[in-house]
């Protein structure tokens, strides 16, 4: 069962399924960074929501103090009730986003010392990590296809052939996995964890 009320991703998902699905520390760091900027934006928008809710309540209370018809006073009271209706949900969303942001920052700090391209500006570092991330992704696809289907689909094999390290890295990897499968060696192995 997956449960993550008020969150985009649980700590478990962030560590094992997101960062853990990456093939390089730089790739994992960039993925966490991408999640981080979304959460920061959400928190900024939550602050704007808070201010709008408070202003709506203040305007309604001001209206209640005025000499206005009863129906307008009822509308002002309804505005107050409406503004506070989902307050506990909003508060939990903000707390969860703050917690998620803290987890993202922690994971990024764990990955930072392992990064190969940390010396580069952010956008350049992201571009520099693509070759290694794709190499790891294509090797993993080869493993998964060979271990589950016994063959690599032509479209995935085409993508592998487009990678500049196809001959030097991917072909030997495919051959090794194929040999392990044929000899009955346990070829599953475990992914090297970027984060413990």
Q: Read off the pLDDT of residues 104-154 as tens digits, 9 standing for 90 and up.
A: 999 999 999 999 999 999 999 999 999 999 999 999 999 999 999 999 999
Show me where the domains of the chain are located: 11-114, 122-183
User: Is residue 166 over pLDDT 80?
Assistant: yes
Threshold 0.85, pTM exceeds: yes
User: Is residue 184 over pLDDT 90?
Assistant: no
pLDDT of 157 reads 97
- Spatial contact of 118 and 125, defined as CB atoms under 8 Å apart: yes
pLDDT of 133 reads 97
| Complete DSSP assignment for 175-191 | HHHHHHHHHT------P
Percent above pLDDT 90 for the chain: 87
How many C-beta neighbours within 10 Å does residue 190 have? Answer: 5
Nearest to 5 by CA among 107, 108, 99, 84: 99
pLDDT of 3 reads 74
DSSP secondary structure code for residue 2 in this structure: -
Average pLDDT, the chain: 93
pLDDT of 190 reads 53
Kindly tell me the sign of the dihedral angle through the C-alpha atoms of 103, 130, 115, 145: positive
- How far apart CA 29 and CA 41 sit, in angstroms, is 18
Angle at 189 between CA 1 and CA 161, to 5 degrees: 100
Average the pLDDT over 158-164 and give the result: 98
């Amino acid at each position: 069962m997956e449960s993550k009320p008020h969150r985009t991703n649980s700590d478990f998902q962030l560590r094992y399924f997101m960062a853990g699905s990456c093939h390089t520390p730089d790739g994992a760091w960039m993925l966490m960074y991408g999640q981080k900027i979304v959460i920061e934006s959400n928190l900024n928008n939550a602050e704007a929501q808070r201010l709008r809710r408070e202003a709506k309540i203040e305007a309604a209370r001001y209206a209640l103090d005025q000499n206005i018809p009863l129906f307008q006073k009822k509308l002002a009271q309804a505005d107050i009730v409406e503004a506070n209706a989902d307050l506990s949900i909003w508060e939990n969303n903000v707390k969860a986003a703050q917690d998620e942001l803290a987890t993202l920052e922690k994971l990024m700090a764990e990955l930072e010392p392992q990064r190969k391209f940390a010396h580069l500006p952010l956008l350049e570092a992201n571009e520099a990590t693509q070759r290694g991330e794709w190499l790891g992704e294509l090797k993993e696809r080869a493993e998964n296809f060979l271990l589950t289907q016994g063959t690599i689909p032509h479209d995935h094999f085409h993508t592998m052939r487009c990678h500049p390290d196809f001959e030097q890295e991917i072909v030997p990897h495919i051959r090794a996995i194929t040999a392990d499968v044929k000899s009955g060696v346990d070829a599953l192995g475990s992914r090297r964890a970027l984060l413990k």
